[in-house]
Every structure is written in structure tokens, then in C-alpha cells.
Amino acid sequence: MIIAGIDEAGKGPVIGPMCIGGVKIDESKSHILKVLGVADSKKLTPKKREQLATQIKKHADGFFVLEVSPSQIDELRKIMTMNEIMVVCFAKVLEQLKPDKVYADAADVKAERFAENLRSQYAKSSPAHAKKIEIISMHQADAIYPVVSAASILAKVRRDELIEELKKEWKMDFGSGYPSDPKTRAFLLDWAREHDGKFPDIVRQSWQTVENIKDELKKS
């Protein structure tokens, strides 16, 4: 039986893309992931994640990382919620992997609802397979199932690579890109001051953080 794991990195940042990673492996050899030391990507150092990503790609039967740009996220948010966007993105990764069973990190307060929505979305492109596939959606699945941890690692490593590329391209260190990061907030505030309240295309314009900074500038 071929199993797969799907997880995201970068759902919450105001700067940069979101990456959804997927890894598939024959269940009979999935123990290899544990032997490698695969774990929740948030608990690993960047260097360890990079080392594991190389090993995961070597031992997996397939992998795929979907990259969703800030502008794509902004456009999608005009017609759907962030949870609905996650369903669409997870389904796109599922289309690439086509496993017998998939473990997905639930991007919804109700994990079972996320699994149902994922199946419905997947059925639009693969109706026959959507009826057969077993979908298990859980909160913190990346800490429970090694195959989801592996997907999380690939997603996180790819997003980190893209963030570093953006920093070089823009010749600026804007931090992690998360709204809670003081360096990220300072970058956004300075940029908005210098460009009449406008933001570059690496920023998710639909984020509340952007609106808050605009309001802050109006008051100053």
C-alpha cells in the first residue's frame, strides 16, 4: 500500500509564498522515515531540515511541493476563505501523488470536515480514485505521522529557500515574513512610509497586518 502525507508551510506569513508539501512511500518501508529522524519540522533546526529533505527525497516513492505566491493567495481570498484555499491546494498535491491512503494535517478546526472537503475537491479531478482513497485528517498530524512530518520538512525547506531568494533579490532582510516578527513589521512600515502606503508584490495585500499598518500611517 502506498501512503502519503501532506502539510503546509507558510499559511500565516504576510510576506512570501505558501508551500504545500507531499511525500508518498510504500507503507512496508515507511519505518525508514523514523530511522532517519524525521520529526515535526518546527522542532528541527534549519540545517537538520535540509539534511533530512535530501534523505526524504532519496527514499520516498514520490514527492511534490506546490508553491502559492502572495498574489495568488490574494486573488483566491477574494472568492474563498483561507481554509477553502488550503483544501484546493492539498487536493492539487494529492493529484500529483495519488496514494492509496493519505494523512493530512487538518487546516480546519474540524479535522473530519477538512477530510470530507478534501475528498470532494479531489473528486473534481480524480472522481474514481476519490471514492477509493482513504483520507485521514488530524490536527498536529506532522507530530504524529512520520510521512506528514516528511511532507512538512519538504514544504518548510522550500519556503525557506524561496524567502532567502527574495531577500537577495530585494537586497533586504525582512525577517521571517510572519506578522509577529518585529523585523518583518519594521520592513513593512518603512516600505509603506517610503511608497505612499503601497506594498511590493512579495507582500500578501489581503492580510490584516497590511490594513493595520495603513491605519497606523494615517494616524501618524
pLDDT at residue 218, as a whole number: 80
Output the CATH code of domain 170-219: 1.10.10.460
Tens digits of residue pLDDT in 62-101: 999 999 999 999 999 999 999 999 999 999 999 999 999 9
Of residues 215 and 80, more confidence is placed in: 80
Domain boundaries, the chain: 2-165, 170-219
Q: What percent of the chain has pLDDT over 90?
A: 85
Tens digits of residue pLDDT in 35-66: 898 877 778 888 999 999 999 999 999 999 99
Quote the CATH superfamily of domain 2-165. Answer: Ribonuclease H-like superfamily/Ribonuclease H (3.30.420.10)
The conformation of residue 82, written as its DSSP 8-state character, comes to H
Tens digits of residue pLDDT in 147-197: 999 999 999 999 999 999 999 999 989 999 999 999 999 999 999 999 988
